[in-house]
Amino acid sequence: MRRLNAVRSKKDLVIAEIREAILNGELAPGARLVIDDLAEKLGVSSIPVREALQQLHADGYVVFEPFIGARVGEIAAESIVEVFTLLEAMEVTSSRMACGRLAPEELAELETIVAHMDTLTADAEAWSQENRHFHEFICARAGTQLVAGLIAKVLDHWDRLHRHFLKEVFVSHLPIAQNLVHKAGSVLRKRASAAEWQLVDIAEYEAMANVEVGIAVFGVGEALIAEVSVVHRSQAGA
């Protein structure tokens, strides 16, 4: 972690810095979080650090243990099931709303994002960041601000999971994931016409969305879930 220069509030800066250290593994699962030590490293008082740990606890990154204090939350490989289930549900909601709002130039921008992702399938970290951009773009055009905030948090947990457990496994599945992103983009293009949108039967759309948007975008999770227990056991035995 680095010392902070105040632009936003100190609390927000401390939250962002500690969260990133947890996500990238600098602060490992189970590591103790000593307020005075963190304050010294970040060049702030103990107050914003204490406030930041409370917020990170609410977000699921930090746990408080009696007589011990704060620790980085452990990661369970099986959480990948929960993460993908949440992402699927939220993606269906935002995609459904976006279909009625995407303008032709926005569809073109979405295609540019997908085309850029095509060039990143050998780089898991870069692809993941652009994948986040893809989903944030859809949420922004959908106007689903609450869903956008929730998706950002769940994607953070996904980043932590794949960085910790699935580096090699995830890289091997990136071409599959990218193909599913293409399918999701195709669904959005087909349903983006306002005239067509008004004619779509809601039940028919929901069935289509669940299969072709939600599961398509995050369907790679099923392949990862099939392997994650093997990865977890091999790491535990190392």
Mean pLDDT score, 8-34: 89
Q: Closest Cα partner for 84 from 226, 176, 222?
A: 222
Residue 27 is predicted with a pLDDT of 92
More confident of the two residues 160 and 71:
71
Query: Measuring CA to CA, which residue among 181, 166, 186, 164 is closest to residue 228?
Result: 166
Asked if 15 and 52 count as a contact pair (C-beta separation under 8 A), the reply is yes
**Confidence bin at 24 (pLDDT 50/70/90):** confident
pLDDT number for residue 215? 41
User: According to the model, what pLDDT value does residue 6 have?
Assistant: 52
pLDDT band at 236 (very low <50, low <70, confident <90, very high): low
Distance CA 164, CA 79 (A): 12
Helix intervals (H) in 24-166: 35-42, 46-58, 79-99, 104-118, 124-142, 145-165
Check if the beta carbon of residue 86 is closer than 8 Å to that of residue 152: no
pLDDT above 70 (res 8): no
Residue whose token pair is 């307020």 = 35
Helix (H) or strand (E) holding 41: helix 35-42
The pLDDT > 70 percentage for the chain reads 70
34 closest CA partner among 68, 74, 3? 68
Residues 27 and 1: their CA atoms lie apart, in Å, by 9
Residue 104's pLDDT band (boundaries 50, 70, 90)? confident
Residue 207 has pLDDT above 50, yes or no: no
Report residue 95's pLDDT band, with 50, 70 and 90 as the boundaries: confident
Residue 15 CA to residue 217 CA, distance in Å, equals 29
Distance CA 218, CA 195 (A): 28
187 vs 99: CA distance, rounded Å: 9
- With a pLDDT cut of 90, the percent of the chain lying above it is 20
Banded pLDDT at 233 (limits 50, 70, 90): low
Q: For residue 33, what are the β-bridge partners?
A: 70
> Which of the residue ranges 9-18, 99-108, 187-196, 217-226 would you say has the lowest mean pLDDT?
217-226
Structural domains of the chain, ranges and CATH numbers in brackets? 10-72 (1.10.10.10), 79-237 (1.20.120.530)
Q: Which helix (H) or strand (E) holds 58?
A: helix 46-58
